[in-house]
């Protein structure tokens, strides 16, 4: 049944008229059609990339706090690389789909809070180890996500390039660990 709202606006509504009460009530979930987001995986990539920008920004701050200039510089460079990657990925999607896929990061990975102030050498070392391990885990998640995109959209060259980039970053990480 088409509601008055749909007829006047042309938009579907999640409300249905209640004949007895002359009001609108939510559509029961059993009557709703499953809505499939055709851009769900693309959005997942954009969200992950944006979370990566936030992560590397946090690492710059943490390593500055810990007075680790080398690692601060590594994450500083990676921060700008991640921003460029995210923007280029979003731009590529606009060209392919003719629409903007909105990114909404869902998680923030952080190894510290605003009141983190390591007081001993052991605390500093513990934070360094924790941060490094988070970085390794993050990049492995990124690799898995890009592998999934390559499998689902093998014709999109960007996914292959991003997968190659993250593999190189994992090699860099393994060299830094030694």
Give 92-139 pLDDT, tens digit per residue.
999 999 999 998 887 777 777 777 778 888 988 888 888 899 999 999
* Residue indicated by tokens 């909404």: 104
Q: The domain containing residue 124 runs over which residues?
A: 40-177
Segment 132-164, tens digit of pLDDT: 999 999 999 999 999 999 999 999 999 999 999
11 pLDDT tier (thresholds 50, 70, 90): very low
> What is the rounded distance in angstroms from the CA atom of residue 117 to the CA atom of residue 172?
28
Does one domain contain both 89 and 28? Answer: no
How many domains does one find in the chain?
A: 2
Question: Contact, 62 vs 112, CB < 8 A?
Answer: yes
> What is the rounded distance in angstroms from the CA atom of residue 49 to the CA atom of residue 145?
10
Q: Which of 16-25, 52-61, 99-108, 139-148 has the lowest mean pLDDT?
A: 16-25
Give the residue-averaged pLDDT of 64-74.
92
Does one domain contain both 46 and 27? Answer: no
φ/ψ bin of 22: left (φ > 0), alpha (ψ from -120 to 50), beta (otherwise): left
pTM: 0.74
> What 3 state SS string does 31-48 have?
CCCCCCCCCHHHHHHHHH
pLDDT value at residue 65 = 87
Does one domain contain both 62 and 118? Answer: yes
In terms of pLDDT, which residue wins out, 91 or 34? Answer: 91
Does one domain contain both 23 and 59? Answer: no
Secondary structure E strands in the chain: 15-18, 23-26
Does one domain contain both 93 and 30? Answer: no
Say how far residue 162 (Cα) sits from the centre of its chain. Answer: 14
Q: How does DSSP classify residue 28?
A: P
pLDDT value at residue 104 = 85
């Amino acid at each position: 049944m088409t509601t008055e709202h749909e007829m006047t606006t042309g938009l579907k509504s999640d409300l249905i008229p209640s004949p007895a009460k002359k009001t609108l009530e939510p559509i029961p979930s059993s009557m709703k059609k499953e809505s499939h987001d055709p851009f769900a995986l693309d959005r997942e990539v954009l969200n992950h990339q944006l979370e990566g920008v936030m992560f590397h920004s946090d690492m710059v701050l943490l390593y500055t706090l810990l007075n680790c200039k080398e690692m601060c510089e590594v994450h500083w460079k990676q921060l700008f690389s991640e921003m460029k990657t995210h923007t280029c990925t979003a731009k590529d999607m606009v060209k392919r789909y003719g629409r903007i896929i909105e990114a909404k990061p869902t998680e923030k990975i952080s190894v510290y809070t605003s009141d983190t102030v390591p007081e001993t050498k052991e605390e500093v070392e513990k934070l360094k180890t924790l941060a490094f391990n988070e970085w390794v885990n993050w990049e492995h998640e990124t690799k898995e996500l890009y592998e999934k995109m390559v499998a689902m959209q093998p014709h999109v060259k960007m996914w292959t390039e991003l997968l190659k980039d993250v593999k190189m970053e994992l090699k860099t990480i393994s060299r830094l660990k030694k």
